[in-house]
Amino acid sequence: MSTQTKKYRVMIVDDEQDITTIFRVGLEKNEFIVTTYNDPLEALSNFRPGMYDLMILDIRMPGMNGFELCQKIKEMDDKVKVCFLTAFEEYRSDFRQSFPALDEVKCYLKKPVTVSDLISRLMDLANS
């Protein structure tokens, strides 16, 4: 079990159900409160300000990409912290261009990623 004292509320949005399931199970074992979505439009329609501390957003998804989803969510809640997830390297320059103020080390993860690396990154992001 984790030694974290605050239970962080995390939204994970990835169109691959196996990824959201693995991350949800791993994070919940480490005392995170997790909600997952495999459809970015559904995630957006269910989002409420103040509901989450952290978000993990896949970049490449059908219907709406992670950058677009982030921008719409940030319009509703600018306090939620975001980490982007992708298997595709070409999105790194798009990330830098779209979110120049975000720390790439804390906010950009390349698949595959282990649950322990994800937890470490989320804790860094939460404490920044």
Is there a domain that residue 86 lies in? yes
> Quick one: which H or E segment has residue 42?
helix 40-46
Q: In which residue are the tokens 């992670």 written?
A: 66
From the CA atom positions of the chain, what is the Rg in Å?
13
Is there a domain that residue 2 lies in? no
- Per residue, what are the HEC states of 53-103? CEEEEECCCCCCCHHHHHHHHHHHCCCCEEEEEECCCCHHHHHHHHCCCCC
Q: How many domains does the chain have?
A: 1
Q: 42-85: per-residue pLDDT in tens?
A: 999 999 999 999 999 999 999 999 999 999 999 999 999 999 88
Is there a domain that residue 99 lies in? yes
Closest listed residue to residue 85, CA positions, set 4, 20, 2? 20
Q: 78-100: per-residue pLDDT in tens?
A: 999 999 888 866 555 665 666 55
The residue range of the domain holding 18 is 9-126
- Tell me the CA distances in angstroms from 81 to 22, 72, 116, 127, one per residue in order: 21, 13, 19, 10
What CATH number should be reported for the domain holding residue 44? 3.40.50.2300
